[in-house]
Amino acid sequence: MQRRSIAFWLGAVVFLAAMLAMTQLVRNEYPFFAGYVILQFVVLAVAWTILGGYAGYVNFGTNAFFGVGVYTAVLLVKAFGAPLPVQIATAAVVGSLLGLGVGLLTLRMRGIFFSIATIALAIIIETSITNFRFVGGAAGIQLQRPPVTAPFDSYVKMLFFVQALLVVIAVAITRGIQNSRIGRGLHALRDDELAAECTGVPTLRLKLLACVISGALMAAAGAPAAMYLQYANPDSAFNLNYSVSVLAMALIGGTAHWIGPVLGAILLGATQQLLAVTISSEVNVLVLGVMLVLFVVAAPKGVIGLVQRQPKRRGGSK
Amino acid sequence: MTVPAAPDAPLLRIDALTKSFGGFVALNDVSVQVRKGERFGLIGPNGSGKTTLVHCISGALRPNKGAVIFGGEDVTPLPPNQRSRRGIARSFQIPRPFRSMTVLENLMVALDFAAGRETLESTAHRREAAMSILARIGLAAKAESPTATLTQVELRKMELARAMATGPKLLISDEAMAGLSTSEVDEVLDLLMSLGGDDIAIIMIEHIMQAVMRFSQRVMCLDAGRIIAIGPPAEVMANARVQEAYLGT
């Protein structure tokens, strides 16, 4: 555990250093433009896995949390001209509160009922934003980027690095949950909720916690998107594609370990970016569907299931 | 809320418990007490309300009327996990292991969330505690096995081990011997006898009469949601109503 922790944090530092070096060395802006989207999906997929993978509660409302993050940032910029860190932090707080609210309302439902409730949530919030004139309503809103801060020479490069930071935060939190008794409790309630309760696991509390953390991370990932596009409208911010993509990424990567959604998001995200350039952005959705079917049939435990055919499970942490 | 129990107060007091599902009354005004460390047998024909009673004691179901008093405290409004922390543990009629985990990990769940967790702060300590329970139950060799590979009798034992890992004062065994061979029944019965004692009361639900007779200090027979007899095993077996309802003679 100790050695693994050191290795993990070392890896995180190397990752961030590499990302930072890239922003300083690479001239072309396009890799950052595309990379930002991939990193954003890594955060979303990792956050989704906390509730959808560990606890087995399939959340179809990723777009609700993402969109709330986007519009929290829009509102803060429009009303106070708030800087990026404030936008992200506030989005995380709003996302966690939304997670708590959704959790209290829906986590007593199981299986498909919970999933349907999360879809309904996204629709309700999107409708509210569509009718909220101050943030642009249905027509959307244009945003002006503030001047970029050193050491970055372009705003997109900075956003790319910020999203890389969010990746490290999201993975660190998810890894922490996985290796703690919270993770074990979530796995227990995923396997059998009544048996978990009778074994002393406070299932409702753990599910709420998972929903709050997952919601906060998803909204935080959405916050920089407003400045990334310099534009926001409800249709794109609350697009159901986010939910479907994120779910597919997590499942394709595998949800038993935090590395699963990371791999899934990189694999699918990169494929989507490549296809968007080479063929068309519409073909994305098709590829996503085909890959999901392939994996469900051939590798139901995702990429990590393929790598470790005989998963070694131990009483201790991994 | 917690009232300290008097020395001779019962460990568990069921007070006028009624539970109905729609128009069907599964438990009708059931009152019974179980002493500390008692071995208590619960019998009755299928559908007589035995498992419903267990659900009401463990918190899986809320009764419509009446109260469950445990250790002097009214636990009726508490969810199962709170009751588990207070010392109520159970096994399930159809085993419900955590299927994605090994046997040891199943026990670790219990130890991770048990009330006395503070004394087992490090993971290594909890592992040790889990291994010693498995050794006592006779499952130590299977500690690292996934639960999917266990035989029926091993699953039953694993459930008892997991229940023991919560540190119970009351252990409810819901037909732990159903579907087992004669030698396996004896094995599980010996195990239950050894688990009970001064500190742990056991309520055993069972259809196998020799097992109930050998195990129980007192037996209660339910029929259609009502208590029709309660007392020493021999007396209850001799009861005409029990024979009629249960044995069908």
- Mutate one of A187, A191, A198, A304 to test the B interface: name it (highest B CB count within 10 A): A198
| DSSP string covering B158-180 | HHHHHHHHT--SEEEEESTTTT-
Could you report the per-residue pLDDT of A86-103, keeping only the tens digit for each? Answer: 999 999 999 999 999 988
Single-letter amino acid, residue A8? F
CB atoms within 10 A of CB A218: 36
DSSP annotation of A109 reads: S
What pLDDT digit, counting tens, does each position of B210-242 carry?
Answer: 888 899 999 999 998 999 999 999 999 888 888
User: Which pLDDT value is given to residue A318?
Assistant: 39
pLDDT tens-place string over residues B16-39:
999 999 889 999 999 999 999 999
- Tens digit of pLDDT for each residue in A232-277? 999 889 998 899 999 999 999 988 889 999 999 999 999 888 888 8
CATH fold label, B12-97+169-247: Rossmann fold (3.40.50)
Q: What is the pLDDT of residues A286-313, one digit of tens each?
A: 888 888 888 888 888 888 888 775 544 4
Q: What pLDDT was estimated at residue B122?
A: 79
Mean pLDDT of chain A: 88
CA distance, residue B107 to nearest chain A CA (Å): 9
Q: Would you state the pLDDT for residue B8?
A: 66
Q: C-alpha dihedral over A292, A298, A304, A307, to 10 degrees?
A: -140
Work out the mean pLDDT of chain B and round it to a whole number.
88
- Predicted pLDDT of residue B247: 61
pLDDT for A223: 94
- pLDDT tens digit sequence for A107-127: 777 778 888 888 998 999 999
Chain A residues with CB inside 8 Å of B102's CB?
313-315
Distance CA B142, CA B149 (A): 9
Return the pLDDT at A19.
92
Nearest CA in chain A to B144: A314
B100/A191 CB distance under 8 A:
yes
pLDDT at site B117: 61
Predicted pLDDT at A312: 47
What is the rounded CA–CA span in Å between residue B234 and residue B213? 7
- Whole-Å CA distances, B159 to A296, B153, B171: 32, 10, 11
Q: How confident is the model at residue B118 (pLDDT cuts 50, 70, 90)?
A: low
Residue given tokens 């159903």 in the structure block? B178
3-state secondary structure of B56: helix
Answer yes or no: are the C-beta atoms of B166 and B107 closer than 8 Å.
Answer: no
The tokens describing A223, both together, are 């916050």
Q: Is B40 near chain A, with CB under 8 Å?
A: no
Task: Please report the pLDDT score of residue A35 as a whole number.
Answer: 93
A245-284: burial string, b at 16+ Cβ within 10 Å, e else: bbbbbbbbbbbbbbbbbbbbbbbbbeebbebeeeeeeeeb
Angle at A190 between CA A184 and CA A192, to 5 degrees: 100
From chain B, the residues in CB contact with A204 under 8 A are: 79
Q: What is the pLDDT of residue A81?
A: 86
Q: Where are the domains of chain B?
A: 12-97+169-247
Who's near B85: CB < 8 A, 6+ residues apart? A200, B113, B114, B115, B166
CB distance B113–A199 less than 8 Å?
yes
**Spatial distance between the Cα atoms of B96 and B119, rounded to a whole number of angstroms:** 28
Q: What is the pLDDT of residue B5?
A: 46
Q: What percent of chain B has pLDDT over 90?
A: 60
Nearest-10 crossing angle of helices A203-222, A155-178? 170
Considering only CB atoms, A200 lies closest to which of B84, B104, B146, namely B84
| Residues forming a β-bridge with B20 | B25
CA distance A303 to A167: 19
Contact A315 B127 (CB under 8 A): yes
Average pLDDT over residues B177-185: 88
Mutation for testing the B interface, residue in A189, A199, A203, A310 having most B CBs under 10 Å = A199
Contact call for A199 and B109, based on CB within 8 A: yes
At A167, list the tokens: 């990746």
Fill in the amino acid letter for B111: L
Q: What pLDDT does residue A277 have?
A: 80
| pLDDT on residue A287 | 81
Measured between alpha carbons, how far is A148 from A157 in angstroms, rounded to an integer? 9
- CB contact set of A262 (below 8 Å; sequence gap of 6+): A42, A45, A46, A167, A171, A253
> Is B245 a residue whose pLDDT tops 50?
yes
Q: Does B164 touch chain A (CB under 8 A)?
A: no
In this prediction, residue B207 has a pLDDT band, given cuts at 50, 70 and 90, of confident
A62: tokens are 């990723």
E-state strands within chain B: 12-21, 24-34, 39-43, 65-70, 73-74, 88-90, 170-174, 201-205, 218-223, 226-231
pLDDT at A314: 42
Q: What is the pLDDT of residues A219-230, one digit of tens each?
A: 999 999 999 998
CB-nearest to A185 from B102, B112, B144 is: B112
CB contact under 8 A, B101 and A314: no
User: Predicted confidence band at A105 (pLDDT cuts at 50, 70, 90)?
Assistant: confident
Give the pLDDT confidence of B60-90 residue by residue, as tens digits. Answer: 999 999 999 999 999 999 999 999 999 999 9
Q: DSSP labels for A27-45? A: --SHHHHHHHHHHHHHHHH
Judge whether residue A23 has pLDDT over 80. yes
Across chain A, which distance is largest between two alpha carbons, in Å?
59
- The tokens describing B143, both together, are 């500690």
Contact at CB, A200 and B85, closer than 8 angstroms: yes
Which residues numbered 69-108 in B keep a CB inside 8 Å of some CB on A?
79-82, 84-85, 89-90, 92, 96-102, 104-105, 108
Q: What is the pLDDT of residue B116?
A: 66
State the Cα–Cα distance between residues B6 and B14, nearest whole angstrom.
17
Note whether B98 contacts A188, CB cutoff 8 Å: yes
Residue B197 in this model has a pLDDT that exceeds 80: no
